[in-house]
Amino acid sequence: MLRILFSAILALSLSAQAREAATPAAPAKAEESAYEQLQLLARAMQLIRQDYVDESKVDYKELTYSALRGMLDNLDPHSQFMEPKSFKNMQEDTRSEFGGLGVVVTQKSGVLTVINPMEDTPGFKAGILPGDQILKINGENTDNTPLNEAVEKLRGNAGEKVSLTLRRPSTGEVKDYELTREVIKVASIKDARILPQRNPGQPRIGYARITQFNEPTAAELAAALDKLEAKGMDAFILDLRHNPGGLLGSAVDVCGQFLPPNTLVVYTEGRTPSREYRTSMTASPNRKYPVVVLTNYASASGSEIVAGALKDLDRALVVGETTFGKGSVQSVVSLPDGSAARLTTAKYFTPGRKLIHEHGVSPHIRATLTHEEEADLLRSRRKREDPATAEVAIWDPQLERAVDALQGSLQHAKNQKK
């Protein structure tokens, strides 16, 4: 078995080494002997099989999976090895609805941390906030738990109960939650409306939130914009706060609502050839009014692509906070036994050649919320009964700053015409 495994890995390694050698920019280390390193790996596996005290833990498959898991986990937080069951679950999740808590998580300094609780899901309704740290899942500590394993524990069949122990860094409070999984299906466009005018005669400013980027998001946004325009909208605020991302194509199509056809939105660079993503070649809507994009620390991935493109192309002002900084491309490659490797293969760049990953998109105008203001804002969304008046009574400094920016932009344009 060892000889077969060794030969297979060696063949793959030598093939990759040959490709590297054929590339002019291949690093000098490509000349190192793959054979010697793989011989070291095979020898270590042999020793474990031969001498480790607990024979039940030295199955070839488990040792191989552990080695693959360690290799990929050590690269970056987004690369991972998926056993056959995890890979199958991932494929099902991308094709249909799934059961879960609606809590988007990541690893921050080894701690399982909530990026965002998706609206209208069990996690959101329970009052979980961005930044909350998940210490335990069903009584088991999450210390150093690989991200894919943690996600698998959070997801499952609708109707099943899950217990969580969370710590809120802003207050130090540790709290237990018992949640019931539901089928997660979230409307991506929320609260599309004309904001209340501060004074009669002031511009009519439209507003809508995108909670995540799904297949119908761009079409739903287009329909919402058409309705707001019919009501005499003079300017528009696109709220991407707490939006964790979603489908890349959907984010590009959202940009297409505000940009000319065939406009570069984002491109990738990696060891493979670069790839560009552009708006559709067909005619775009004639939406010429001023736009503000609202962002915060939990705006990630697709949100950063939209904010970065509209900012670089001078199509929108970005107001709020620097975004999360998740701008890498993961490719999933299936392996012969039904498992798979998710590997970071490229990074996203905005049209202005700005790297998104680990940098985020910085705002033109910085505006922040205190922990209390953010909690009040999310609480108001949980208690919302009438979407048309949901946030009127809640003080939202970031939204107010966006309104100020648009009024200033409209006044400037008016003065220019005089």
For residues 240 and 291, give the distance between their C-alpha atoms in angstroms, rounded to a whole number.
Answer: 13
Instruction: Considering the candidates 284, 301, 303, 328, report the single residue annotated as catalytic.
Output: 301
**Is 234 annotated as catalytic?**
no
* Phi, psi angles (nearest 5°) of residue 184: -90, 115
Verify whether residue 61 is a known catalytic residue: no
Q: Which of 120, 132, 239, 312 is catalytic?
A: 312
Q: Which of 383, 399, 390, 384 is nearest to 198 (CA)?
A: 399
Give the span between the Cα atoms of 292 and 207, in whole angstroms: 10
Cβ atoms of 328 and 357 within 8 Å: the answer is yes
Amino acid present at 198: R
Residue carrying the six token digits 């970056």: 76
Choosing from 120, 132, 311, 326, the catalytic residue is: 326
288 is catalytic: no
Q: What residues pair up with 236 in beta bridges, in sequence order?
A: 206, 291
Q: Please list, in sequence order, all residues whose beta carbon lies within 8 angstroms of the beta carbon of residue 208, skipping any fewer than 6 positions away.
A: 189, 190, 191, 192, 193, 221, 224, 225, 228, 236, 237, 238, 239
Q: Are 34 and 17 in contact (CB under 8 A)?
A: yes
> Is 250 within 8 Å of 266 (Cβ atoms)?
no
Q: How many other C-beta atoms lie within 10 A of the C-beta of residue 226?
A: 11
Q: Tell me which residues are annotated as active site.
A: 301, 312, 326
